[in-house]
Structure 1
Amino acid sequence: MSSYAQHIATVQARFDAALAASGFDSALVYAGQPRVAFLDDNPAPYKVNPLFKYWVPVIQSPKSAVYYEPGSKPIVFLHQPRDFWHAHVDVPHEEWQNHVELVVVDAPEKIASYLGSKLERSAFLGENFAEPVASWKTAAVNPQALIDHLHFHRAIKTSWEVENMRQANLLAATAHNAARDAFFAGKSELEIHAAYLAAINFRESEVPYNSIVALNEHGAVLHYDVYQTQAPQESRSFLIDAGALYRGYCADITRTYARTDGFFADLIKAVDQAQQDLLSEIKPGINYYQLHVSQHLKIAQILSDFDLVKGSAESIYEQGYSSPFFPHGLGHFIGLQVHDVGGHQRNDRGDMYDRDPRHPFLRLLRDVEVGQVFTIEPGLYVVDQLLEDFAGNNDFNWQRIDELRPYGGVRIEDSVVVGENGNNENLTRDAFAQIES
């Protein structure tokens, strides 16, 4: 059996269980459609419903749908409009078409006509902001119990999903190397961004999120995506957080570079080593929160070693001194979405972990399990807004912090597939190694 055949069998089984648990006969998963700008007819870039591409690797066919009733073959309604204004999206024949009943429609109204009374017994999953979908009489729209059940189990990836994420990481790693070279060639942020896209022949709308392309102090802005059009007079440092998509699955990679040897280059090496040390601690059965705290202690040790903050790693962490330098969570699930779902769920019934007040931005609080895929992305930055609360604190070496400020900060991010007994797969580092071999 092929990996896709195994995948769609798993998706069917998960929908079987979710529908039974939530009391619905069937599900209609709508791919979605573009939204237009306010008071305009110009659409925003289209992003497919992740639950649609969970079934089939079709990401550019809006107004399509998957209908699934347990015990029956999934029906994929592939929307191909009769339209002389726009080019048709090419959907080549691939293996997925052998596992579904494929029905080509030229208008979404034909989906409702085809299903007839079955539509009224079906749970609708997706956006229904536009007609005719908005008026469809379904059993429910996005019922939370059904979504909770599906989201919880999506955390365990199938082999086919991991295969796609390997390819996404290869694409992203290729583009990262092109961006790195553009940095060392003295290019502007916008030029570096263009080099990234050109390396993998992507349009800007085809990457899974707005790339973070940050020179110098811009590296301290966690989601920086402004892109200066002129190169700075002195290009000291470069932080890039950027990904790629393959068959609807995401890569999310961050790397940091220094133009010259010295203090900041040494800091990058220290954060990189701290991240790799943390990777060796990932084993089934521990809680992701434990990993987050362990990484904080490692960042605290760096703060001490580089004379940024006085004290031992333990005292720095306990006093909350590491948080302004490392304010975000250690990582998140990744897969069909960059920040994939289910990170705070205790179970498939919708019970949730409470956010920890000490680390409110941590997106993942579940126990580590074989088959999960998540990122590990520690950082160390000079964020003045966060340091304001510690103004005048003599445990902080403000002169040393001033030396770091023009470089912004460091972040290193890899995606990891959890294996048995710590035998994990690092999708990101493996991709770079494959390119460079």
Structure 2
Amino acid sequence: MTDSHISPLSAFAAQLRSQQVDLTERWMKAVFHDAELTESDRLTYEQLADHIPNILDEICAALEQQDLDSVESAMERDARLHGKLRWKQGYRIDELVRELDLFRQMLSGTIVEFSEARPYFTRRHEERARHFIDEAVGFVTLTSIREVVTERDRKIDDYTGRLERANHELTLKQRLVAELYESRMQITRSVVHDLRNFLNVFSMALQLISRAPSKVETALALARRQTTDMKTLVDELVEYSVVLGDSSPLTLERFALRELFDELVISCEAAIEAKGLRLQTAFDSALDEVVSNRLKLKQVALNLLTNAAKYTRAGRIELAMTALENDCWQLRVSDTGVGIGESDRERVFKEFERATHEDIPGAGLGLAIVTELCRVLEGEIRFDSREGEGTVFEITFPMRLEAAGS
């Protein structure tokens, strides 16, 4: 018997509400026993039920109001959440459609059960109820599928982005390998060229001794100079290979910069003055202790000082250490040497680049070594130079270098 104040569809909706738990369990049992739905076997009760009770409640509201538009917003929200969760749970689209179709079939069966026990629920009411249920479940299915497709496309876009980044990194690494190969070939060509020149001069010295015994001293002096130049070349190559091949963690220590400064002056003063040059020094009294790698800092300074002495025929070499703001300090080495032309500024820090117009021994690796050491010591290097007037190198270092991973 029906209440005259309640429409047949509202009475049917009230019946669905009262049986919500039972209907949900019946639907889940049908899902579990369906051979086409394999992913459901891995889900818990709560995971499988998901937003189905909410969607059932919204269908009831649509039946009561005989209007799907009134619940469309809430139904869309729950359908999207359902689709997103099923995507995360590994459902295929056909599995998602299948389980929602089982939900529709169950509700259609409930219509038949309700109408058989209630004569007032006519065929017209059945068709009306079936219409709302089919429309609602169809809307939920379509919205859920769209959400699955959106999630899939987002995942594809993510994978595509990762693949593009990986391809970009691979391209960069391939380019780096190519540049490294060309660099190694340049090393080989440069070393072979220099060694051939040394051997040619040795050969000339031997020929001079055999043809003109009176010029033995001259030939020996020539040979000794070539030996010295060859040793310089080999020493630079060894130093560069050690710097590049050092993969051990950077050893840090606390030490006084003044002690390093005095050690540098003692190390290079005699050689600079032997060339007839003056060594000017300046140490900022505001500098105290630093935390860095003392040997690598010394190596940087010595390479700059040696380079300055090589390319300076007259005048002075300056060594200075100065305190800066932002917890930094500066190493400065300047000279009054040949300078660097505008066209050479781009290549000055590259391997085997040197003033080829000068008769100066070495492999042109001094500034390449400095560059690599500055990278390790977090130093920022800059230089200013005028051809024929001299060069100034300034490197800014942190007062306290932190260990990797700290």
TM range (shorter): under 0.3
Choose between structure 1 and 2 for higher RCO, CA contacts under 8 A separated by at least 6 residues. Answer: 1
Give TM-score, length-normalised by structure 1.
Answer: 0.22
> Would you tell me which structure has more helix in proportion to its own residues?
2
Computing the radius of gyration from Cα coordinates, the structure with the larger value is 2
